[in-house]
Structure 1
Amino acid sequence: MNTTPNTSAGLGLLAGKVAFITGAGRGIGAAAARLFAQEGARLLLAARTEAQLKAVTEEVRAAGGTADHVVCDLADPAGVRAAVERAVDLYGRLDVAFNNGAAFVPPGPMDQVAQDDFDHVYAVNLRGPWLVMVAEVAAIRATAGTGAIVNNSSVGSLGANPELPAYGAMKRAVNSLTESAAVTYGPEGIRVNAVAPGGTLTEMIRTWEQDSPGLVERLKAHTPLGRSADPGEIAQAAAWLLSDRASFVTGAVLRVDGGARL
């Protein structure tokens, strides 16, 4: 196998690759869709809300990119498998995947987390990434042969998370799945990494701000760069990890947090 990264001038980071993105209707997932298409990937975008998916798909196409979409709830095992298979049906292969989709639960101490909320965040934020990774590995193995997967974690997974204990726990478990998958599938040439965003201006953090007024400013105060991230900045990190430029990187949980955890 040729392990030398392709650095030909004029080629995008993801030129020639088929990419599958979950949670692609808004926020970081939508930013990733725009960026990955600019970097040369053909896309299948997945999320629960068709109107949002359709809007992002049309935006990518209007900019000259190649994209389609499929409605997918990460809590539905059959739907997850069907979505990944759809990428292969459309493009004949799967090379890379960004598992970005996640659910949010109301913030609060652990004893105030409703069991239904805990079960939901488990089904979407932990079982969902496990299901989709299994399907993606099978698709990459059967078509492209080698490839890369990036899971979206959180800096909230790297230590105590008293405001979002269930969310943090699921994301920490995703880190473990990422590392285990990297060891398991590395010998086949399938790399698996994660990004761990800090405070990022998405719909999720705006919802959290409503429940905890002043949250965004508190996060900025603990961030050496002094600001929140734009969703596109997280997408840039994911694109690099999925690209051949990161050909010797696997099992990493890359903090993209403006120094917040230093």
Structure 2
Amino acid sequence: MSLAITGKTAIITGAAHGIGLAIARHFIDRGAHVMCADIDEAKLNAEFGDEARNDGPVRIFAGDLCQKLTVNNLLSATVDAYDRIDILINSARAFAPCDPLEPIQDVLEDMLRQNMMGALRLSQMTAKRMISLAEKENRTTGEVGTIINVSTLAAQRAQPELLAYSIACAAQDQATRSLAVALAPYRIRVNGVSFASVMSASLQAALKENGDWREAIVAGTPMGRIAPPSELAETVQYLASSGAGFVTGQVIQVDGGRSVIDPIAVPVY
């Protein structure tokens, strides 16, 4: 089974922080051409600015990917740099708690817009670009592209204080399955990676304010630890590689077994 991604072109959103940053670094280290996208331009420059100044495997793109024009500009910048798009990884996420007994319209709309609608639009527009490039190059066999969505266990667990966030994560997982079926005839695979007990940027920030949560998370995770985001990146690489060539429509749990039991009353970040 080949897990190679050398020479492939990947767009990775949320690449300036946490899990997105870990995935971007992982793909760069394994020889992929990576367009690192994030709304945080300062952090993008701090992480990748020196590398992106060369005509090498790294480029950066700053902008609000919930805007259609910005998405078009991202896709054009990627094709201009590398002539193709093989992989899209939607790892940008926004997190906000809410009071489940109060109207949540604003919070829900924001969570859906940032965690589901933005990724869905980017996936649709990227798929169209992948198909167009394949037709232009007369690629009639082989994989045209792959799309990977990063989600969390919140999509499956009822935590009232995360009502809006959980709905958005669940919607993203369903979008993964629906797009997988829609894009299969075009030879584009769509999968998801759902995580828990992984040191995301939001979990790291939460643990600074709630240090006692660490013990609860570790105790409630069968494998007895919180994983670094690099372990999630390994699964993303598998889904992006030819080794997963017959895998589509799946949301893979990367959580140390937490989804099997999950007795923790700690929010899933």
Structure 2, unaligned runs of 5 or more: 261-269
Cα distance in 1 for partners of 2:128, 2:186 equals: 12
Cα distance in 2 for partners of 1:114, 1:207 equals: 24
Distance of aligned partners of 1:80 and 1:218 in 2 relative to their CA distance in 1, 3 Å threshold: farther
Residue from 126, 129, 135 that aligns with 1:136: 126
Matched, 1:125 2:115: yes
Residue from 7, 13, 23 that aligns with 1:32: 23
Residue from 83, 86, 89 that aligns with 2:80: 89
Identify the residue that residue 181 of structure 1 maps to in structure 2.
179
1:94-126: CA deviations, max 9, x gaps? 001110001111x34422575433222121111
Identify the residue that residue 244 of structure 2 maps to in structure 1.
246
Asked if the contact 1:28–1:231 (Cα under 8 Å) also holds between the matched residues in 2, the reply is yes
Cα distance in 2 for partners of 1:140, 1:59 equals: 29
Matched, 1:78 2:83: no
Shift of 1:210: 5.4
1:111 match: secondary structure? coil
After TM superposition, list the pairs within 5 Å mapping 1:162-173 onto structure 2.
162-173=160-171
TM-score (normalised: structure 2): 0.86
RMSD: 2.2
2:161 match: secondary structure? coil
Asked if the contact 2:49–2:60 (Cα under 8 Å) also holds between the matched residues in 1, the reply is no
Shift of 1:59: 6.7
Identify the residue that residue 205 of structure 2 maps to in structure 1.
207
Report how many residues are paired: 251
Shift of 1:38: 1.6
Structure 1, unaligned runs of 5 or more: none
2:253 match: secondary structure? strand
Asked if the contact 2:104–2:164 (Cα under 8 Å) also holds between the matched residues in 1, the reply is no
Asked if the contact 1:37–1:60 (Cα under 8 Å) also holds between the matched residues in 2, the reply is no
Matched, 1:111 2:101: yes
Asked if the contact 1:74–1:123 (Cα under 8 Å) also holds between the matched residues in 2, the reply is no
Cα distance in 1 for partners of 2:198, 2:178 equals: 27
Identify the residue that residue 14 of structure 1 maps to in structure 2.
5
Cα distance in 1 for partners of 2:208, 2:230 equals: 23
Residue from 154, 158, 161 that aligns with 1:160: 158
Q: Judge which range, 86-95 or 213-222, deviates more.
A: 213-222
